[in-house]
Amino acid sequence: MAPATLLKSSFFPKKAEWGAMRLVAAPKPVTVSMVVRASAYADELVQTAKTIASPGRGILATDETNGTCGKKLASIGLENTEANRLAYRTLLVSAPGLGQYISGVILFEETLYQSTVDGKKITDILAEQGIVPGIKVDKGLAPLAGSNNELWCRGLDGLASREAAYYQAGARFAKWRTVLSIPNGPSELAVKEAACGLARYAAISQDNGLVPIVEPEILLDGEHGIERTFEVALKVWAETFYYMAENNVMLEGILLKPSMVTPGAECEDKATPEQVANYSRKLLHRRVPPAVPGIMFLSGGQSEVEATQNLNAINQTPHPWHVSFSFARALQNTCLKTWGGRPENVKAAHDALLLRAKANSLAQLGKYTSDSEDAEASEGMFVKNYVY
């Protein structure tokens, strides 16, 4: 047996070392506190998302800011007044039978509170058609300091109280659109900022009863090929889902609004709908958990026909999610031109909108053919510096 002195000096710490030894011998366990966060609206959010993501239906986006709506009105020679904006939005939402193809309409704040000249609330017109009213809640884009001329999306300040008021006014889903530019990067900073902002917004929206549409738009502008768009999209969606998890966002109660994976608008190598579909599907399968109920693609400046053809190609195989559309330009373009601000053209403009809505409804089901499309709908739209 070892002498007592040896035992004492080699095995037992000196009194002054007791604290340090305790730490080594019994490190404090690292605990992960599992806060189970459930919005009071959890069931309703799931139900709303399911209603929007219903077979053969998608979203009509009419949430342009007053500035962007003004540009649309100017293209048909109308002044950018509140009355003209209301006339245009009334035209869009009152197309007879729209609810067969459209499950949700995204409104700008001004329209959410407006009534038609006949005194009918816009939200009531939507309800009669079985269409869920949604609301753009972001406050637009601003230069991202410290980045490569990139942008960030504002609007978190006061968001909870604004959303509570929108819910009272009848809105049941929300939209927050941020953008990423491939020619300008995107930088790590811009991607992280976009993802954090979207995740905070999504959590706040769920707390206030609104299903968040999560939209990191990867802009079409640029000469890059489809591979580069794919690579950037993988990164952007990885970060976005990481921060949504950090913010305890309930995936069953969100909708995604991605860009389709296409080459840049100025790329010489154009992609076929099958190529766009292959890359877009690969992106979704690698990044989106099946708990997400709906993927509602944006059109991003593609022509009306192109956007529909690509959606149809994406839907040639089954998915765990409802894969559909949330188009503004690719639903409105021909309708706006046909209307031209003239009351006598309302019927023709409604027909033009319904034609696109039906084509996209068929594309959601993977059953669309472009045989009867006219040249107008095949024209591309302005892409650069498009602001919502």
Catalytic annotation, residues: 215, 257
Does residue 57 belong to the site contacting ligand 13P (CB under 6 A)? no
Indicate the residue among 150 and 215 with the shorter CB distance to ligand 13P. Answer: 215
Does residue 109 belong to the site contacting ligand 13P (CB under 6 A)? no
CB of 362 to ligand 13P, least distance (A): 18
Contact 203, 249 (CB under 8 A): yes
CB of 388 to ligand 13P, least distance (A): 5
For residue 111, what are its two tokens?
A: 């329209």
Q: Contacting ligand 13P (CB under 6 A), which of 199, 219, 328, 362? A: 328
Q: How many Cα neighbours within 13 Å face the side chain of 309?
A: 18
Residues 277-316 that bind ligand 13P (CB under 6 A): 298-300
For residue 176, what are its two tokens?
A: 């927050």
Site size for ligand 13P, by CB under 6 A? 14
CB of 383 to ligand 13P, least distance (A): 9
Q: What angle do CA 204, 164, 246 make, to 5 degrees?
A: 5
Q: Would strands 141-143 and 151-153 be described as parallel, antiparallel, or unpaired? A: antiparallel
Does residue 58 belong to the site contacting ligand 13P (CB under 6 A)? no
For residue 141, what are its two tokens?
A: 């884009």
Nearest to 208 by CA among 37, 35, 40: 40
CB of 22 to ligand 13P, least distance (A): 57
Q: Cα–Cα distance between 256 and 103 in angstroms, integer?
A: 15
Binding mask 59-88 for ligand 13P (x = CB under 6 A): --x-x-------------------------
Indicate the residue among 338 and 360 with the shorter CB distance to ligand 13P. Answer: 360
Does residue 327 belong to the site contacting ligand 13P (CB under 6 A)? yes
Does residue 89 belong to the site contacting ligand 13P (CB under 6 A)? no
Does residue 53 belong to the site contacting ligand 13P (CB under 6 A)? no
C-beta contacts of 314-320 below 8 A and 24+ residues apart: 314/260, 314/276, 314/277, 314/280, 314/281, 315/363, 315/364, 315/365, 315/366, 316/277, 316/366, 317/281, 319/281, 319/284, 319/295, 320/290
Nearest to 362 by CA among 335, 324, 326, 336: 324
Q: Contacting ligand 13P (CB under 6 A), which of 172, 177, 200, 322? A: 177
- Applying CB under 6 A, which residues contact ligand 13P? 61, 63, 106, 175, 177, 215, 298-300, 327-330, 388
